[in-house]
Structure 1
Amino acid sequence: MAVISYKCPNCGGELVFDPETQKYKCGYCLSEFTAAEAEQANPKAQEASSGAKAQKETEDSGAVAYVCPNCGAELLTDGTTAATFCFYCHSPVVLSGRVSGKYLPEKILPFAISREEAVSRFLKDVKKKIFIPKDFYSKAQIEKVSGVYFPYWLYGGSFDADYRARGTRTRVWRAGDMEYTETSIFDVERGGQVELEGLAHNALQKADRDLIESVQPYGIDELQPFSMGYLSGFLAEKRDMERDVFENEMWTQRDQMIENELRATAGDYMSLTGAELNVHVNREQWSYVMLPVWTVTYRGKDQKIYYYAMNGQSGKISGDFPVADGKLLLVSVLCGLVVFLLALMGGYFL
């Protein structure tokens, strides 16, 4: 399997993608390059990014060995790793065979939030939560904050839809001592053409789906044509789920969104019941893309793995936070003591 490391054309140092400048930066001479300049200076990477020569990729999901192009060390990765770092020389490398041929993404959404900004937001968020153990945001833990490109399937298209339901409106009035209620029933029909874009579904089985998808939505208008250079300096995973695994789920989500959109135009009814929806597909499209997420994991004293994730474009966060039992016990004791003292004082003055 070909392994690519982007090199600075000025000094030969490693190039990594910088979210703040949206350029490729050399960590040694601090030179910056556009995507086109970085690809031109690394012809092997340019060829791999184009997908012109699809590399053979096995379906085996087991460990795969690769040789670091910088120090020659042989390392192992699991079957879905597409970009990583050499354990010995820490150079960023891209396993091009994992993102070529049938696994070549059509688009990628580059990181817009730098690691420094992600760490700053992480610390600001967790330090507001008084019951989180300090180990969760220790220096060693901060070093685990990682930028990862996760594989997604995007779905969208153009649809004609008809919506029918029974709507009710109720009017209540009083006349003397009597209260009257009038309920009117209407046949509600709505229809039209609906355009949907950017319904996203994670395409990696081992990912914590609830967490990874909870940082959506992404601004898909900012998707860029895929280039391997965007992976340099980050981790990346290739997909191991094809769209047919969750097609029905996506279609159900599509129909629900279409129904909600048509219901919103139905007018002011107290209730809409017996709804029927018919959807005709004019055009639908699936796209394989990579989306950015900042992640950190933590193993608690209860041996449970806690996850924290941040949308690498918008900064939206989601997490499963541990609780420091000692802090919780201390606060409970203090609260109990305050209540006890107040009760004593109340009894004394009575």
Structure 2
Amino acid sequence: MSGVLTYKCSNCGGPLKFDPEKQKYACEYCLSQFTQEQVAAEEKEAPRAEKAEKGGGEPFLYNCSSCGAEIVTDGTTAATFCYYCHNPVILSGRLSGEYNPDYVVPFAIEKEKAVDIFRLWMKKKRFVPKEFYSEDQIEKISGVYFPYMLYSCRAEGRLNASADRVRVWVSGNHRYTETQTFEVKREGSMPVKFVPRNALKKANRELVEGVLPYETEKMKNFSMAYLSGFLAERRDMGEQEFGDEVKTEVRSFAQDSLRNSITSYDSVRIESNDIRLKDEAWEYALLPVWALTYRDEGRDEMYYFTINGQTGKVCGKLPVDKFKLSLLFAEIFVPILIVLLIVGYLI
């Protein structure tokens, strides 16, 4: 089946997985380790996999190159696992042409550390159902590369304002006020780098944007080898979906920056402002997230816990156990009610 690509150890043929802690690719069988440069060199020498462009939300079938099992994915999945032999599989055709990412932020947090972060965070949450943090549930935590579009530009702005400086003093029985009005001008140029937007329609926006920001200065040029051992999604949204929103946000930030530079006045009135965006560019990146999801069938609602796979920042939307809340009510309010009844009786 076309479009299937795996990275294998050059020593024993076992599957390679990217190790976030060591920032190298490791073979689970012979324990060999390889740098990005070594994997890239092997990739250039290997025959190029036949690529297939496919999209949409329909399921697609791929054959695992290790055991031959059929792998079922949707139209945006770019990296997954074979559920039979656990071999990491990269669907290379999903990331070709216009869908080829410019950058990737490699995972810097391994699964064991992500689980530790989750357990520590859950200790502070008293009213979450046990099903959400059971051992079976924790095993489902997954490292996923989510697609983001990154906007960069140079914002040039001018601002004209009137500013008042007020002086008040008392002489004898009289109170005097002096108001001086000044014409104030501000202008400047500000570089804007990598404003992110979630580029996957099916992704919960709170889930993937709640772990922002990333340290984009540590981004790497994209190589499919970074996806080995993780899940990955391909973008199905572009700049046309959120271009106006991002540009409005950048203009507003630039205007606020100019306005905040006007200090030492008692009042400021903006007369006019002009923000121009130049050297605009959109780039495509895959950013790492550890994700754990839980669907409450009774409420038909999804809850989640996510960790920024680079910085460790946590974001979550948690279910509430009504039974635990009722116990809290019984522990706190029932004794108070009894005391009030006794006091009322005595009075």
Aligned partner (choices 63, 66, 73) of residue 67 of structure 1: 63
Structure 1 position 227 matched with structure 2 position 223 = yes
User: Whole-Å Cα distance in 2 between the matches of residues 44 and 207 of structure 1?
Assistant: 36
1:57-80 deviations in Å (ceiling 9; x for gaps): 134442221111011112221000
- Alignment correspondent of 1:326: 323
**What pairs up with 1:1-350 in 2 under 5 angstroms?**
1-43=2-44, 55-169=51-165, 185-274=181-270, 276-300=272-296, 301-343=298-340
8 Å contact kept, 2:163–2:181: yes
Distance of 1:113 and 1:271 partners within structure 2:
49
SS of residue paired to 1:165:
strand
User: Contact (CA 8 Å) 1:85, 1:91: kept in 2 or not?
Assistant: yes
| Shift in Å, 1:133 | 1.4
Amino acid at match of 1:111: F
- Alignment check: 8 A CA contact 1:7 1:42 kept: no
- Report the Cα distance in structure 2 between the residues aligned to 1:67 and 1:44, rounded to whole angstroms: 23
Deviations 1:280-316 (A, max 9, x none): 3331221111111111111224331102211111111
The unaligned stretches of length 5 or more in structure 1 are: none
Report the CA distance between 1:181 and its aligned residue: 6.4
2-structure distance, mates of 1:180, 1:335: 59
Letter in 1 for 2:34: F
The answer to whether the 8 A contact 1:39-1:45 is kept is: no
Task: Supply the AA of the counterpart residue of 2:59.
Answer: A
Distance 1:339 1:255 in 2: 55
Q: With structure 1 as the length reference, what TM-score do the two structures score?
A: 0.90
2 CA distance for matches of 1:139 and 1:256? Answer: 46
Partner of 2:80, secondary structure, is strand
2-structure distance, mates of 1:188, 1:139:
63
> Unpaired runs of 5+ in structure 2?
none
- When normalised by structure 2's length, the TM-score is 0.91
